[in-house]
Amino acid sequence: MKNLKLILGIIIGFVLLLGCVIFADGFVATFIPTQPFGGMAEFAIRILLLTISYFIIKKMYKKGIGPSTSNLGKGIFIYGAAMWIPIILNLITKARTPVVPFATVLPTLIGIFFSQMGTGVLEELVFRGFFFNAFVDRLGNNKKGVFASMILSSSVFGAIHLLNLIDSPELIVATIAQAIYATMVGCFFCMIYYCTGNIWSCIILHGIVDFAAKFWNAFNPAPRADKSIFMGIFEIAVCAILMIYAIIKLNKEFKNKEAAV
């Protein structure tokens, strides 16, 4: 039965991810191409998928993913404190001289914000809501099982980014670096979700870090170009801090549980 729930969870997760990216986003791009309405539409579709998935995850894994203020601030500012490092670095390292006035770019900026928050909703729903919970359900809600579930679900999260090479085969260094550091960031989000029980802390942080990465595109769109090896290594090193932080925090969480028994 547990093997069936694991397989079913992974299948549902992939169907949601690929279906949303291929069909829903294609629909939005065709019929709602202007901002901010395009970004808002993407966000609304992902919230709808999360609402439907709420009942599936609650039934299959006895876990909640609904909006909640419980541990929300703790997840964002205490357990998730280290995530503000890449958020700030994204705003600094990707800064470009604006060529478009703020008033003109505001609709685009709002659209990007909703679109990236929608990315946070979808990816946290799939990789933490379905995959992480499915692995924990199968491998056990103990130290060994949770750590294994964190690594497995996050490795899939990282590997899925390699599909970006299909659309952009010229971005080799950027894509490989992204696959590696996304795995590390995935571990970080697993830690936040497990320690707080609130997936919305992960959703909000995920959306903000992605928004920060694309913020300057609204003011000065840059041509697509591969990253230098140095920049790829730098990004991986920064996210390695997040993974180490996640391991330490999870280990401490289990020590506290053992001490309380």
Using alpha carbons, list the distances in angstroms from residue 227 to 25, 110, 161, 170. 26, 27, 16, 10
Please state, in angstroms and rounded to a whole number, the distance separating the CA atoms of residues 189 and 203.
9
pTM score over 0.95: yes
Q: What string of pLDDT tens digits covers the 261 residues of the chain? A: 779 999 999 999 999 999 999 999 999 999 999 999 999 999 999 999 999 999 999 999 999 999 999 999 999 999 999 999 999 999 999 998 999 899 999 999 999 999 999 999 999 999 999 999 999 999 999 999 999 999 999 999 999 999 999 999 999 999 999 999 999 999 999 999 999 999 999 999 999 999 999 999 999 988 889 999 999 999 999 999 999 999 999 999 999 988 876
**How many Å separate Cα 78 from the centre of its chain?**
18
**Contact indicator for 220, 105 with CB cutoff of 8 Å:** no
Q: Are 185 and 240 in contact (CB under 8 A)?
A: no
What pLDDT, on a 0 to 100 scale, did the predictor assign at position 217? 93
- What size, in residues, is the chain? 261
Give pLDDT, residue 2.
Answer: 77
Residue 2, C-beta contacts closer than 8 angstroms, at least 6 positions apart: 137, 138
pLDDT, residue 107, reads 97
- Assigned token pair, 257: 């549980």
